[in-house]
Amino acid sequence: MEDYDEFRIYSVAVDPEYCPQCGSEVGSREFDGGPMDWCGDCEMVFARTPVSAVHVVVRDDDHVLLLDEPIPQHDGVLSLPGGHAHHDEGPREAVLRELQEETALAATSDALSLVTVYHAETDAVAFHFATYALDYADATGTLAPEADGFEIRRELVDDVIDGVVPIRDSDRERVAAAFDRENPV
CA distances from 149 to 58, 78, 99 (A): 21, 13, 18
Give the three-state DSSP class for 142: coil
Handedness of CA 142, 144, 90, 50 (dihedral sign): positive
Per-residue confidence (pLDDT) for residue 5, from 0 to 100: 56
Dist. CA 179–CA 75, nearest whole Å: 25
Judged against a pLDDT cut of 60, whether residue 47 lies above it is answered with yes
7 or 55, which is more confident? 55
Per-residue confidence (pLDDT) for residue 6, from 0 to 100: 66
* Nearest residue to 96 (alpha-carbon basis) of 151, 134, 145: 134
Class level of CATH domain 51-178: alpha beta
Q: How confident is the model at residue 10 (pLDDT cuts 50, 70, 90)?
A: confident
Lowest mean pLDDT among 71-85, 129-143, 153-167: 71-85
Per-residue confidence (pLDDT) for residue 78, from 0 to 100: 94
Q: How confident is the model at residue 163 (pLDDT cuts 50, 70, 90)?
A: very high
Give the three-state DSSP class for 14: coil
Per-residue confidence (pLDDT) for residue 184, from 0 to 100: 56
For the chain, the structural domain boundaries read 4-48, 51-178
This prediction has a pTM of 0.83
